[in-house]
Amino acid sequence: MNTRILLLTAGLALAASALHAQNRFDALRYGNYQPSDPTSVVLNPASAALTSHSYFRFSLGNREVDEDGTFRATTTGFNDNQAAISDLQFVVKMPTLVGSMVFGAGYTQLTDFNKAWSAGAYNPDNSIMDYVIGASDQYFLPAFNTYAIDTVGGEYYTVYELAGFGGIDQYIETYERGQMGEYNIHFATEFQKNLFLGASIGLPAGHYSYKRSFLEEDIDGIYTQSPDDIDAIIVDDRIDATIRGFNARLGLLYKPAANASVGVSYTTRTRLSIDEVYSTRFQTEFKTLDAYEDTYEGEINYTVSLPSRVAVTGTYDAGPFAVAAAVERVNYGRIEMDGLGPRIGREENSAIRTEFRDVLNWQVNASFNMGNLKPRFGYALQSAPTQAATTVDTQYMSGGFAIDLGSDMVLDLGVRYNTTEGREVLYGFGSTTEAVDRTGTKWFTSVGLKIGF
CB distance 55 to 451 below 8 Å? yes
Residue range 149-169: mean pLDDT, rounded: 88
Least confident piece of the model among 18-22, 57-61, 142-146, 371-375: 18-22
> How much is the pLDDT for 343?
93
Whether pLDDT at 8 is above 80: no
| pLDDT tens string 329-384 | 999 999 999 999 999 999 999 999 999 999 999 999 999 999 999 999 999 999 99
Average pLDDT, whole number, for the chain? Answer: 93
Q: Which residues of 51-81 are buried (b: 16+ CB within 10 A; e: fewer)?
A: beebbebbbebebbbbbbbbbeeeebebebe
3-state helix, strand, coil in the chain (%, to 5): 10, 65, 25
Share of the chain above pLDDT 90, in %: 88
pLDDT at residue 2 in the model:
42
Cα 437 to Cα 121: distance, rounded to the nearest angstrom: 13
In the chain, domain spans: 24-452
Cβ atoms of residues 281 and 226 within 8 Å = no
Residue 91 has pLDDT above 90, yes or no: yes
| Alpha carbon distance 180, 325 (integer Å) | 23
| Cα–Cα distance measured from residue 376 to residue 321, given in angstroms and rounded to the nearest whole number | 9
> Is the pLDDT reported for residue 6 higher than 70?
no
Q: Is pLDDT larger for residue 415 or for residue 20?
A: 415
> 7 pLDDT band (50/70/90 cuts)?
very low
Distance CA 60, CA 399 (A): 16
Q: What is the spatial distance between Cα 36 and Cα 27, in angstroms, rounded to a whole number?
A: 20
E runs forming strands in 72-100: 74-93
Topology adopted by domain 24-452: Porin (2.40.160)
Helix, strand, or coil (residue 12): coil
Q: DSSP letter at 227?
A: T
Q: Which phi and psi angles does 144 have, rounded to 5°?
A: -65, -40
Distances (CA, A) of 206 to 68, 180, 273, 275: 27, 4, 11, 11
Where helices occur in 182-246 by DSSP H, the ranges are: none
Residues forming a β-bridge with 239: 210, 278
- Sequence-ordered list of residues with C-beta below 8 angstroms from that of 142, at least 6 positions apart, any chain: 280, 281, 282, 294, 295, 296
In terms of Cβ atoms closer than 10 Å to its own Cβ (0-12, 13-18, 19+), residue 165 is middle
Task: Say if residue 234's pLDDT is above 90.
Answer: yes
Measured CA to CA, the distance from residue 32 to residue 254 in angstroms comes to 28
pLDDT band at 16 (very low <50, low <70, confident <90, very high): very low
> Are 300 and 17 in contact, with CB atoms under 8 Å apart?
no
Nearest alpha carbon to residue 189 among 69, 103, 66, 285: 103
DSSP 110-157: EEE--EEEEEEEEESS--HHHHHTTS-HHHHHHHHHTTSEEEETTEEE
**Span 400-419, mean pLDDT?**
97
The single-letter code of the amino acid at 412 is D
Q: How confident is the model at residue 5 (pLDDT cuts 50, 70, 90)?
A: very low
In whole angstroms, what is the distance from residue 289 CA to residue 148 CA?
Answer: 13
pLDDT for the residue 225: 82
Q: Which residue type, as a one-letter code, is found at position 401?
A: F
Cα 13 to Cα 6, 8, 93, 161, 266, distances in angstroms:
17, 10, 65, 20, 48
Give the least confident one: 12-21, 26-35, 304-313, 423-432. Answer: 12-21
pLDDT at 3 over 90: no
- Measured distance between the N- and C-terminal CA atoms of the chain, rounded to whole angstroms: 75
